[in-house]
Structure 1
């Protein structure tokens, strides 16, 4: 299913669903950050996805990282909350989301890196190399907040 992201676009379709989601910044011992190239839009992003009923948000992040990357992680902190209503995601099936994303930090505890059907590439990327990757600016914002080592989580 194809996905198109809009930000502050007056021509964007109107949302028809509010979705709660979690993502995670997973860094290795060298400070490189795990990114995936999504199959639905071809852009690099943090691993993450929609929360299921009966799940916690940290549990969602752990599950999504495992499903999308093959790695087991534990949550270590909070980057921030991302709820900007100007960010709209439209899917080819007609769903148009206003997303509510909580972005966590996490560390690898096991597993093996493997590509899932949701990605075409997985890699740990040095912070200085992130700027050269195709990525939606809302993902860059989360990474900027993480790399700034903020004393408090971003609330937005």
Structure 2
């Protein structure tokens, strides 16, 4: 399903759903971070997605990371919470989602790096190597917040 991100865009469609979601900044022992290039918008992103009934928000981040990248992780902290009502995702099925997202900090504990149905590519990057990658502003904010190491961000 195709997706278009809008952030503080007056031409954005009005949200018709609100979905809790989680993402993860996964950092390995070499200080590299895990990113995926998404199939729905072609952009680089942190692993993450919507929370399912019966799971915690932390479990959501762990599950989504494994599903999308093949890497099992352990949550070690929180990067921030992201709830900008001006940030919506418009899907080709008519859903326009306002997301309530918590971005976690995590470390890899196993698995094998691989792409999935939701990703064209999955790779580890030195933080400075992410500067030139194509990504939506909301993902860039999460990475910048982690890199700034100022503690949890609330946006």
List per-residue Cα deviations over 1:39-94 (Å, max 9, x = no partner).
00000000000000111000000000010011110000000000001101000010
Q: Using the alignment, how far apart are the partners of 1:26 and 1:139 within structure 2?
A: 13
How big is the alpha-carbon RMSD for the aligned residues of Structure 1 and Structure 2? Answer: 0.6
Structure 1 unmatched runs, 5+: none
Q: Using the alignment, how far apart are the partners of 1:35 and 1:71 within structure 2?
A: 11
Structure 1 residue 107 and structure 2 residue 115: aligned?
no
Name the SS for the 2:10 alignment partner: coil
Specify the alignment match of 2:122 in structure 1: 122
Q: Using the alignment, how far apart are the partners of 1:122 and 1:113 within structure 2?
A: 7
Q: Using the alignment, how far apart are the partners of 2:15 and 2:111 within structure 1?
A: 37
How far 1:28 sits from its partner (Å)? Answer: 1.2
Residues 58-69 of structure 1 aligned to structure 2 (within 5 Å):
58-69=58-69
How far 1:149 sits from its partner (Å)? Answer: 1.1
Q: Using the alignment, how far apart are the partners of 1:155 and 1:9 within structure 2?
A: 20
Q: How many residues align?
A: 155
Structure 2 unmatched runs, 5+: none
TM-score (norm 2): 0.98
Q: Using the alignment, how far apart are the partners of 1:133 and 1:142 within structure 2?
A: 14
TM-score (norm 1): 0.98
